Amino acid sequence: MRSPRISQAAPARELLEASRIGALLLPWYEAHRRRLPWREAPSPYGVWVSEVMLQQTRVETVVPYYTRFLARFPNLEALAGAPEDDVLALWSGLGYYRRARALHAGARAVVERHGGRFPLDREAALELPGVGPYTAGAVLSIAYNVAEPVVDGNVERVLTRLLRLRGDPKSASLARRLREIAQNSIPHGRASDYNQALMELGATVCTAPAPACGRCPLHDVCRARQAGDALDFPQSAPPRKTVAVTLHAAVVAAGSPWPSYLIERVTEGTLLVGLWLFPIEAARAGCRSPSPRLVERLSRRLGLRLEATGKAGSVSHTITYRRITVDVFTFSIPEPAGAGGDGSWRWVRLEDLGAKVPVSSLALKIARKLSEASAGDGAFRTDSARHRRRSAARLP
C-alpha cells in the first residue's frame, strides 16, 4: 500500500518524524563511516579546506589534493601568507578555481580579523570571503560541534526521500523547510557526527542513481522506500542543455632534446581567469587545420611565421554545461622566442605544469596527450623534426 502524500502544510509532523533519524543513523555511521583525512581530529581549518574542495567534486578526487594542500599550507597563517600562484598551482586540475581564490581571501581575512582562528560566531563566519550558510554550518558543526544544519546535495536527497517532500530543493520555500528539518533533527551534543552521518548516507547508500535501500539504516522509516518511488526524489529542476564547443590548442615546442612550451595566462572569462593554458582559440567543428586566427596571433607574438608540424590528437573536457573538444596542433621552433614582458605568456617545461605553474585540468589533459603522441608515434616525432626549420622562418 502506498503511503499518503505529505501535505505541504505539515511541518510539525515532519519535524517529529525527522527527530527519530539520529537514533537510527548515528550507530550506522560509527560502524560504516569512511576514514577520511579531514575526519581524523577535525580542525576548523582542515574542515574548511575539505568542504571547499568537496563542492562539486568527488571525495576520491579530493583526498590527494587535500593531503598535498595541508602539507604545503598546514595552517591558516601559512595559507594567508602564500602567493596566489602557489595556491592555484596546488589546486591545478581540481577545477572551479574561484573556490581556491575565495579560500585564500578568507584565510587572509581570518588572520587579519580573528587572529588566525575561524570564528565560532555564525554571523562573523558569514562575513568571510567565500563563506556562505553551507560552509559556515559545516565548519561550525563538524569542527566546533555547534548545532548548525548542513544541507548539501546529499542531505537534500536523503531528507526529500525520507519524507517524500515534493518540489525543487533549490527553491526558497523547500530549501527553508529542509534547513528547518535538518536543524531540529540534530541530536543534543552530536551535531558533528550527525551532520557527517547524513552526508555520508547520501554519498554512499542513498545515492542519486541507485539507492541501496536494503543497506540503509533508515529503511523502515523512509516514505519513498515504502511507496517505491525513491528515484522520483528529489524533484530537481532539469539540468541546463549541454552545448558542444570545438577549440584548437597550439602546443609550441622550443629547443631540444628537452623542449620548453609556450603558455598564456587566461585574462578573460569567468572560469579559468588567472590560470595558465596552452594558446587556444574557438574553431569550426571538423576543421582539419589549425585555426587561422590562432596561428596569426602566435606568429605575431613570436615574430615567426608558424606552421603546424603535426596533430597530437584531441581531448575532451567539460566546464559546467559546455562539452568541449580540443584539437591539439603542434608547432616547433629552434629556441624560445622572447618572453612576455607584461606577464601574459611564458615558456615552461611540461613537468612544471600543475607543480610550479597553476594550470587547469584542461592544460594537463593537453600535456598528457602531447606526451602520449611523442612517446608512441614515431611518425609524429619525425614530422616535427622535418618541419622545424620551415616552421621557424622569421617574419619580415
pLDDT value at residue 8: 43
**Which residues are registered as beta bridge partners of 61?**
none
pLDDT value at residue 307: 86
* CATH class of the domain at 243-394: alpha beta
**Which residues are registered as beta bridge partners of 185?**
none
- The answer to whether the CB of 211 falls within 8 A of the CB of 231 is yes
Phi, psi values for residue 129, rounded to 5°? -55, 130
What SS3 string covers 246-273?
EEEEEEEEECCCCCEEEEEECCCCCCCC
Q: Report the relative pairing of strands 322-333 and 310-319 from DSSP bridges.
A: antiparallel
In this prediction the pTM is 0.79
Beta carbons within 8 Å of 210's beta carbon, 6+ residues apart: none
**Which residues are registered as beta bridge partners of 247?**
282, 326
Distance CA(83)–CA(67), nearest Å, equals 19
Could you tell me which of 99, 101, 151, 147 has the C-alpha nearest to residue 120?
A: 147
**Grid-cell match 558543526, residue found:** 141
**pLDDT tens over the chain, length 396 residues:** 333 333 344 465 666 567 789 999 999 999 999 999 999 889 999 999 999 999 989 999 999 999 999 999 999 999 999 999 999 999 998 988 999 999 999 999 999 999 999 999 999 999 999 999 999 999 999 999 999 999 999 999 999 999 999 999 999 999 999 999 999 899 999 999 999 999 999 999 999 999 999 999 999 999 999 999 999 999 988 888 999 999 999 999 998 778 999 999 988 765 678 889 999 999 887 788 999 999 999 998 888 888 889 999 999 999 888 999 999 999 999 888 766 557 789 999 999 998 889 998 999 999 999 888 877 654 333 333 333 333 344 333
* 123 is an active site residue: no
Distance CA(171)–CA(184), nearest Å, equals 20
Cell triple for 79: 595559507
All CATH 3.90.79.10 domain ranges of the chain, comma separated, are 243-394
- The answer to whether the CB of 365 falls within 8 A of the CB of 327 is no
- Dihedral-angle region of residue 342 (phi above 0 means left; psi in -120 to 50 means alpha; beta otherwise): alpha
Q: How many other β-carbons are positioned within 10 Å of the β-carbon of residue 56?
A: 11
> One of 51, 156, 200, 264 is an active-site residue; which one?
51
Could you tell me which of 315, 340, 335 has the C-alpha nearest to residue 325?
A: 315
Could you tell me which of 235, 46, 213, 266 has the C-alpha nearest to residue 142?
A: 46
Buried b (16+ CB within 10 A) or exposed e, 334-362: eebbeeeeeeebbbbebebbbeebbbbbb
Cell triple for 64: 590527494
Pick the CATH number of 11-232 from 3.40.630.10, 1.10.340.30, 3.40.50.1370, 3.40.50.720: 1.10.340.30
* Cis, bond preceding 257 (omega within 30 deg of 0): yes
Q: How many other β-carbons are positioned within 10 Å of the β-carbon of residue 66?
A: 20
**Which residues are registered as beta bridge partners of 217?**
none
All CATH 1.10.340.30 domain ranges of the chain, comma separated, are 11-232
